[in-house]
Structure 1
Amino acid sequence: MAIPSLGQLKQRQRLELVAQTVMVNLQQARSEAISQADAVQLRFSRHPTGSCYILHTGASGECSCTPDGQATCSANERVMKLEWIPSTQNIAVRANVANMSFQARQGAVTSTGSIDISAANGDTIRHIVSIAGRVRSCSPSGGVKRFPRC
């Protein structure tokens, strides 16, 4: 009887860890854009083998994740961070936009959007990025108690 609840606890912890990592990377993208006076791109992709996102300098869409979780870029873009979440972790990262561009100096973002970090059991944490580049987090179903319902 305790084994299923232990598995659920581990899944919840994994979900919260990935959500925290995404939040830190969103904050890093905004901070780097402001401090370096250069736009920072955040690009999302999903593959059958996992979810991926990449932080990079340069033009929008110039870097992407390959299906095996590696970064590929054209020209002289600098990869700042690559996060690969294999599907074996039963966690998926989905964004409603393919790319977010954090603008130099003020940290504003185009396109605004939301990022869902979901566990196989349906628990989801959503990060909503405003035009000012600020992030708020919630749980669409209210199933993750540490986060308010969206």
Structure 2
Amino acid sequence: MMLEPFAPNASKGVDPLSPNAIRDFKGPNLNAQLPFVQPQHHGSQRHRKSIACAAGLATPPIQEVAAMPLNRQTTRRPALAASAQTRRLQGFSLVEALIVLSIAAILMGLAVPAFQGLQELRRLEGHAAELATDIQYIRSEAVTKNRQMHLRFGSDAAGTCYLLHSGNTGNCTCTSAGAAQCTDPANSPVKSVGLASREGVRLQANVTTMLFDPVRGTTTPAGSVNLIADSGKTIRHVVNIMGRTRTCSPQGSVSGYATC
């Protein structure tokens, strides 16, 4: 069976190849408007297929239509939820916790002795500075009041002490608790300092009493007073006959002081 070529004017009995037929042939209307398709800004393959389907040029398979996401954010929510759940499940194991506790215990063991040594040194230096200040004070008091002043050292079962007082020698005593007592009413205590053994510092002097003369401004007898910590660190005050005090550390046991 032969197919005859399409001739728009054949039904009218006009030769389709005649000049008049060719002149009258208008052909398809090229100005006809195609269906308007809203432009998409996404350039993915699925969106291009959706444009083609809207124009009637192609029909996507059912599987692809079902797989098309309605929103990009909906595809991220399961992943975000899974990552959040993973973070909530993270933690420390028992082995890791034991390792951290072991390291902390080692560091504490190293830090505590150093801290205790620092506290002991501060107590020793504090008592040494106080004693040096009291020696200069009682010397100036003797000159100012024109009276004999005394620096007396003592000890008891609980520790050591020293006492600043006026009057006669040997009539006043002190205790490690800081208390002072004078048997002669003419004597009056000025200051009493006690060094209990629990403080970790004790007092050691090579004399019992020092007399500060108000006229000459001298000290008799000259002597030295040691402040000794439980660790053996020692600070020494050497008081000469002029009442001047020199501070040093025997064998350089305390840094920052001259060796004596």
Please report the TM-score for the alignment, with normalisation by the length of structure 1: 0.96
Matched, 1:59 2:189: no
For the Cα contact (< 8 Å) 2:238–2:245, is it kept in 1? yes
* Percent of residue pairs identical: 37
Matched, 1:36 2:145: yes
The C-alpha deviation readout for 1:83-127, integer Å capped at 9, x for no partner, is: 011110010011100000011133201111000000000000000
Structure 1 unaligned blocks of 5 or more: none
Query: What residue in structure 2 maps to residue 81 of structure 1?
Result: 191
For the Cα contact (< 8 Å) 1:45–1:65, is it kept in 2? yes
Query: Which protein shows a greater Rg?
Result: 2
Query: What residue in structure 1 maps to residue 202 of structure 2?
Result: 92
More helix as a share of residues: 2
Equivalent-residue separation in structure 1 for 2:225 and 2:250 (angstroms): 11
Query: What residue in structure 2 maps to residue 112 of structure 1?
Result: 222
For the Cα contact (< 8 Å) 1:125–1:137, is it kept in 2? yes
| Residue 67 (structure 1) shift | 6.0
**2:120 partner amino acid:** Q
**1:60 partner amino acid:** T
For the Cα contact (< 8 Å) 1:109–1:130, is it kept in 2? yes
Equivalent-residue separation in structure 2 for 1:35 and 1:146 (angstroms): 33
For the Cα contact (< 8 Å) 1:91–1:118, is it kept in 2? yes
Query: What residue in structure 1 maps to residue 259 of structure 2?
Result: 149
Equivalent-residue separation in structure 2 for 1:66 and 1:85 (angstroms): 9
Structure 2 unaligned blocks of 5 or more: 1-109
| Residue 68 (structure 1) shift | 4.6
57, 70, 82: which one aligns with 2:179: 70
**1:93 partner amino acid:** L
Equivalent-residue separation in structure 1 for 2:177 and 2:187 (angstroms): 20
Secondary structure of 2:127's aligned partner: helix
| Residue 69 (structure 1) shift | 3.8
More strand as a share of residues: 1
25, 50, 55: which one aligns with 2:159: 50
**1:126 partner amino acid:** R
**1:147 partner amino acid:** Y
Higher relative contact order (CA 8 A, sep 6+): 1
Runs of 4+, deviation exceeding 4 Å: none
Secondary structure of 1:141's aligned partner: helix
| Residue 129 (structure 1) shift | 0.3
219, 239, 242: which one aligns with 1:129: 239
Equivalent-residue separation in structure 2 for 1:105 and 1:147 (angstroms): 33
Query: What residue in structure 1 maps to residue 10 of structure 2?
Result: none
Moved more, 8-17 or 58-67: 58-67
**2:227 partner amino acid:** I
